[in-house]
Structure 1
Amino acid sequence: MDVQVGGLLGLIWLAIIIWAIVKCAQSNAGTGAKVLWILLLLLMPVLGLILWLLLGPKG
């Protein structure tokens, strides 16, 4: 049962990260900023997501 719960949580986390990357790519920010945010989200998913939610490009 623990493996299934961990797998489900991992899948949900992956979906959240993918959503954040897509939103970042669709934002009005410059290309350099988009690349840096996406790299941050890929290399440090937890910290990157928190920073992106707080400081990332809006709209």
Structure 2
Amino acid sequence: MNVSVGNGFLGLVILILDIWAIINIVQSNASTGAKVLWVVLVLLLPVVGLIIWFFAGPRGGKV
């Protein structure tokens, strides 16, 4: 596999996971301020923000 193809695929996977995290953040029961902070964290630090959100962030809670 070409290195640039592998890097492009990894970037696409990170993008998809970040979008998934943002959707879950927006659908969560957290306050608006908390949602904004989490979304900004995920956008500014795509990999680290995603990891932090996965372990400590709000999840979609609407039924």
**TM-score, normalization by structure 1:** 0.89
- Amino acid in structure 2 at the alignment position of 1:48: G
User: Mind listing any 5+ residue stretches in structure 2 that lack a counterpart?
Assistant: none
Q: Percent identity?
A: 54
- Amino acid in structure 2 at the alignment position of 1:41: V
Bigger helix share: 1
User: Mind listing any 5+ residue stretches in structure 1 that lack a counterpart?
Assistant: none
Note if 1:48 corresponds to 2:36.
no
**TM-score, normalization by structure 2:** 0.85
**Within 2, Cα distance between the matches of 1:14 and 1:40?**
14
Bigger RCO of structures 1 and 2 (CA < 8 A, at least 6 apart): 2
Superposition deviation, residue 27 in structure 1: 0.6
User: Residue in 2 aligned with 1:15?
Assistant: 16
Superposition deviation, residue 56 in structure 1: 0.8
Size of the aligned set, in residue pairs, is 59
Superposition deviation, residue 50 in structure 1: 1.4
**Aligned-partner SS, 1:57:** coil
